[in-house]
Structure 1
Amino acid sequence: MIGVERLVLSLLTVLSVVMGDTIGYLGESVTLSSGANPSWHITKITWSIYNNDTWIATFKGTNSNTEWFGQFKSRLSLNTSSGDLEIRDVQRGDELVYSVLLTNSQREQQINKVLLTVTERLIEPSVRKVFSVLKDGHCVMALQCSSSVKDTSFSWEPEASFDGSFWRGSPNANVSVVWSSSSPNRHVTFICTASNGLTNASKVVREICQDEQPKPDVVVEGENRVPGIIMLFLGFLFGCLLTYIFRESLTCLSTRFNKSRSINKVCPTLSGVERNSSLPIERS
């Protein structure tokens, strides 16, 4: 009976599993918290993955080992006082559920599970003014916000004192545009915030909305404008090409009109046609 009671008590000392969520950034370091009771004197630590049957870091007595699994070799550090595990140079494959089994000097045990989510740290987005133009007494300005990180969404917010109106364009290929209408010759401040669902990064842009005309060679996304001089040059080349192609016919017509040269020599094709014709041919 005593043995059974001890077994039951030992099972009851294993505390309930606590799920945690930790975010790790590619190429950086992240620390997985063991969730140990601060009052505990930890005597045994076992960090594992894959249904708790693959050890990656252990500690018992005075012996510590963080080289159990090839994927994490030379990238782990185990804090034997708190039970926390540090992973250096975080990689995509590190996105796993980690389990830690802790034992204290009183042989009490605690199990904790930590879900590590790996993502790319967002950098400050890039914002630039596309153009500003005076229209109907208002200055219309377009600002573009972009990010090099994939699957990024954007949001725009004007300064608190902004008294104009603005419209947010639909983002496309990690690019978002905001259009604003306000009084001319004033500074306009907008905040562009990029988000990947886990973290955010913002950029503040302050641009002058000037009374200026749009540049003639500005190319708007989705639209190609060819300057007039290029069209003129293309027309000239096309005319030269037509002249070259029909040069013999033009020469032939000129010869027949002036009757200064023999049709048989200059226009063999027309001469052949005339020979096959029943009409009389006048020779000079």
Structure 2
Amino acid sequence: MGIFLLWSLFLLGLLTGPGASRAPMVVTGTLGGSVTLPLKLQDGQQVESISWVCRSVPGAIATVTLVEAGGPYTFHQAESRYWGRLSVVGPERSLQISHLSWADAGSYRVHVNLWSSRATHTREYSLHVYEQLAQPRVRVSTRISGNGHCLIILTCMAESRGGAVTYSWTPLGPQTAVSHGGSVLSVTLRPRDSTLNFTCMVKNPVSNSSSLPILVPPSCTGPGILGGEESVGETVIGTLGKSATLPLEVPVGQEVEKVTWSSRGLVAILQPGPAGEPILVAGTQGPYNQRLSIPRHNYSLQISSLRLQDSGPYRAWITLHSPPINITKDFILHVYERLQEPKITVSSQIMKDGTCFITLICSLDQPGEDVQYSWDPRGQGAIVSHGGTTLSVSWRFGVSDSYHCTVKNPISQSSSSIPVRPLCSGSFLPCCLRKEFLLFLILGALQIK
């Protein structure tokens, strides 16, 4: 029985090879960047051939072949979505993948054949691709007033398609509680508590980022002044030069004493006028001069001739006569400008083996906030990075003659295109035609003599 067990283990070693590993090696890469799948050999091992395989692609994506031990090698890439993005690096000929895309994440395997052994050495990898995290936003989603106490809930939002985001807050103390995987912070304030500032930090395996400080006003004893750039309450979208309304509904049957609107300072004060209709009693001076009005029959606030500086947090503080109570409602106003036609520039251009590798950048002179970029067409192997502004493609004759970039924000969109054929025309004259053309020139020159 012992001899049989030893013989089985010996056969298993021949099948898997001494370099095999049960658990895949985890490798982390950044979207649009490069990553290396390391190949580690023992001292003295001479490689005959290396084959790299991706589970989602049939056949080998790349091979390395040596004519003799320790001699020069031949590197071959298969026609796949990795075309033009693979290379070997280092003395052990590890595989490097450049211009990483989301589709590159997954399982990989390398098969190594040695001159000194007939066994195939195998190693598995698990590639994870993440993007650089942008600055997170914080939403103050709930603010409840009662018995002089406040419960304020801050929700941290990270824009990430790659997952694996961890959240943390500073400062933490007996007045705070963290939930929902760390993304939500609950703050309990009592009368006469001091003003607090909170910061949300997000992190993934390749980057980290922090929000702007979030000001939490002391207790619930007054309208307060909002600061920072946090996302607060209901979102209102406005267009530069047009009007936007911050909608406010007073509970039915309640008698309003006044409504105070603030945003990094006092904006306006509304009070009941004749016949109970609200009137503007303060706010006619300053940056909102002659730009404020009140929609009929309610205490909403309309801002006309919108400016980009009007963007930010707003708070309505409702003071009621009966019952004597204060109610708050928060808003975040975003003012956007209509987008102009974007510009497309070529940042790099490489011609190799009948293929033109180009990188295009889509840009705006004044992009503003919340601009989304998209490209068309998106063929096999195309990589979009840097927030969608950059497109890296391998172009061949017969593919689409132009690429289009579309920019979009919440109120408008615009697009532009660039022809590709003139950029790559020098590399698409077939080899046989080049030779015939050269021969024609030589014969012509001989006849002239």
Which TM-score applies when normalising by structure 1? 0.56
Amino acid at match of 1:189: F
- Runs of 5+ consecutive residues of structure 1 not aligned to the other structure: 1-7, 235-284
List aligned pairs for 1:200-239, cutoff 5 A: 201=208, 203=210, 206-211=213-218, 213-214=222-223, 220-221=233-234, 224-226=247-249, 228=278, 229-232=294-297
Work out the CA distance in 1 between the residues paired with 2:40 and 2:169.
Answer: 39
Indicate if the aligned counterparts of 2:136 and 2:200 stay in contact, CA closer than 8 A. Answer: no
1:76 corresponds to 2:83: no
Inter-CA distance 93–177: structure 2 relative to 1 (3 Å threshold): closer
Separation (CA, whole Å) in 2 of partners of 1:185 and 1:79: 58
- Matched to 2:296, the amino acid is M
Equivalenced residue count is: 219
Output the CA distance in 1 between the equivalents of 2:108 and 2:178: 45
Per-residue CA deviations over 1:78-135 (Å, capped at 9, x if unaligned) read 1362231000011233234322222345336421122323344433423366798986
Q: In 2 relative to 1, CA 215–31 (structure 1 residues): closer, same or farther, beyond 3 Å?
A: same
Asked whether the 8 Å contact 2:47–2:66 carries over to 1, the reply is no
Asked if the contact 1:96–1:116 (Cα under 8 Å) also holds between the matched residues in 2, the reply is yes
2:187 counterpart residue number? 180
SS of the aligned residue for 1:181 comes to strand
Q: Which residue pairs with 1:159 in the alignment?
A: 171
3-state SS, counterpart of residue 134 of structure 2: coil
Conserved 8 A contact 1:38-1:82: no
TM-score, normalization: structure 2?
0.39
8 Å contact 1:190–1:205 — kept in the other structure? Answer: yes
1:197-239: per-residue Cα shift (whole Å, max 9, x none)?
x7774526544443463379x98449951584423389xxxxx
Q: 1:107 to 1:13 in 2, by over 3 A?
A: farther
Q: Which residue of 1 aligns with 2:128?
A: 117
State percent identity of aligned pairs.
18
For 1:55 and 1:131, locate their aligned partners in 2 and report how far apart those are by CA, in whole Å. Answer: 52
Residue pair 1:43, 1:60 contacting (<8 A) in 2 also: yes
Per-residue deviation, 1:189: 3.4
Letter of the 1:210 counterpart: P
**Candidates 29, 44, 51, aligned match of 2:49:** 44
Distance 1:103 1:52, change over 3 A: farther
**1:166–1:111 Cα change, 3 Å:** closer
Shift of 1:179: 3.4
Q: Provide closer, same or farther for how the CA distance between residues 84 and 190 of structure 1 changes in structure 2, counting only shifts above 3 A.
A: same
Q: 1:83, 1:102 within 8 Å by CA — same for their partners in 2?
A: no
- Structure 2 CA distance for aligned equivalents of residues 38 and 121 of structure 1: 37
Structure 1 residues 1-284: aligned runs within 5 Å? 11=14, 14-15=17-18, 17-18=20-21, 19-50=24-55, 53-61=59-67, 62-79=72-89, 81-107=91-117, 109-127=120-138, 136=147, 141-150=152-161, 155-160=167-172, 162-166=173-177, 168=179, 177-182=184-189, 184-193=193-202, 201=208, 203=210, 206-211=213-218, 213-214=222-223, 220-221=233-234, 224-226=247-249, 228=278, 229-232=294-297
2: CA distance between counterparts of 1:96 and 1:105? 30
- Judging changes above 3 Å, is the alpha-carbon distance between structure 1 residues 16 and 202 closer, same or farther for their aligned structure 2 residues? same
SS in structure 2 of the partner of residue 230 of structure 1: coil
Partner SS, residue 39 of structure 2: coil
Mapped contact 1:140–1:181 kept (Cα < 8 A): yes
The amino acid that maps onto 1:33 is: P
Query: Within 1, Cα distance between the matches of 2:48 and 2:90?
Result: 8
What are the superposed Cα offsets for residues 149-181 of structure 1, whole Å, 9 maximum, x if unpaired?
248666454425x3424465x69xxxx653312
Q: Select the structure that is richer in helix.
A: 1
Q: Matches of 2:25 and 2:51 in 1, distance apart?
A: 17
Provide the alpha-carbon RMSD of the alignment. Answer: 4.5
Higher strand share: 2
Cα distance in 2 for residues equivalent to 1:209 and 1:68: 58
User: Given the superposition, is the C-alpha separation of residues 110 and 39 from structure 1 closer, same or farther in structure 2, using an over 3 Å criterion?
Assistant: same
Taking structure 1 as reference, are residues 84 and 118 closer, same or farther at Cα in structure 2, changes over 3 Å only? same
Aligned to 1:241: none
SS in 2 for 1:93: helix
